[in-house]
Amino acid sequence: MKSLVDTLRELVAHVGEVVDRMHDEGLVAAASDADQAVALELLGRLGRRVDAVTIEAVSEVTARSESAVREERLTSRLGCRSVSELVQRTTRLGPHTVGRLERAARATRQGRSVFSGELEPAALPAMRAALLDGEVGLDGVLAVAEPLSSLVSGVSLEALLVADQVLAAEARGEGPDGAPPLCADLLKVQARVWAVVLDQDGAEPRERQALLKRGLTLGPARDGLVAIQGRLLPEVAAQLQRIFDASLSPKVAGDGVRFVEADASNTSAPYDDRRRPQQQHDAFAGALAAAAVSGELPTIGGAAPTLVVSVRSEDLVEGRGWAHTEGADEPLSLAAARHIGCAGVVQRVTLGDNGRILRLGTEERVFNRYQRRAIALRDGGCIIPGCGVPAGWCEIHHVTGHAEGGPTHTDNGVLLCWYHHRFVDRNGWSIRMNRGVPEVRAPSWIDARMLWRPVTRSPTHLRDRVVRQT
DSSP string, 80-124: -SSHHHHHHHHH---HHHHHHHHHHHHHH---B-TTT--B---SS
In this predicted structure, what is the pLDDT of residue 256? 47
**Is residue 259 a contact partner of residue 442, using CB atoms and an 8 Å limit?**
yes
Q: Of the spans 34-43, 224-233, 297-306, which averages the highest pLDDT?
A: 34-43
Neighbours of 181 (CB within 10 A): 17
Does residue 255 register a pLDDT over 50? no
pLDDT digits (tens, 9 = 90+) for 93-111: 999 999 999 999 999 998 8
- How far is 319 from 391, CA to CA, in rounded Å? 30
Quick one: pLDDT band at residue 455, thresholds 50, 70, 90?
Answer: confident
416 or 258: which leads in pLDDT: 416
Q: How confident is the model at residue 235 (pLDDT cuts 50, 70, 90)?
A: low
User: Strands 307-312 and 346-351, how do they pair?
Assistant: parallel
The confidence score (pLDDT) of residue 171 equals: 93
- Confidence bin at 459 (pLDDT 50/70/90): low
Average pLDDT, the chain: 79
pLDDT in tens, 181-214: 999 998 998 998 888 788 766 555 566 777 778 8
Highest mean pLDDT among 66-80, 323-337, 338-352: 66-80
**Is pLDDT at 322 greater than 70 in this prediction?**
no
Residue 381 pLDDT exceeds 60 = yes
Residue 406: Cβ-neighbour burial (10 angstroms; 0-12, 13-18, 19+): middle
pLDDT of residue 327: 56
- Predicted pLDDT at 3: 93
Mean pLDDT of 317-334: 63
pLDDT at position 331 over 60: yes
Res 177: pLDDT: 73
What's the pLDDT tens digit per position in 256-314? 444 544 443 443 333 566 788 887 887 787 777 677 666 665 555 555 555 566 666 66
In the prediction, which pLDDT does 252 show?
Answer: 44
| The pLDDT of residue 362 is above 80 | no
Taking the C-alpha atoms of residue 349 and residue 310, their distance in angstroms, rounded to an integer, is 5
Secondary structure string (H, E, C) spanning 211-267:
HHHCEEEEEEEECCEEEEEEECCHHHHHHHHHHHHHHCCCCCCCCCCCCCCCCCCCC
Q: Is the pLDDT of residue 127 over 90?
A: yes
Asked if the model's pLDDT at residue 339 lies above 90, the reply is: no
Whole-number pLDDT of residue 264: 39
**Are 143 and 188 spatial neighbours (Cβ–Cβ below 8 Å)?**
yes
Q: With 60 as the cut, is the pLDDT of residue 251 above it?
A: no
- For 44-75, the pLDDT digits (tens) are 999 999 999 999 999 999 999 998 898 999 99
pLDDT at 268: 39
Check whether 17 has a pLDDT greater than 50.
yes
Alpha carbons 365 and 20: distance in angstroms, whole number: 67
* 95-99, 249-253, 332-336: segment of lowest average pLDDT: 249-253
What pLDDT score was predicted for residue 282? 78
Predicted confidence at residue 454, as pLDDT, reads: 84
Q: What is the pLDDT of residue 328?
A: 59
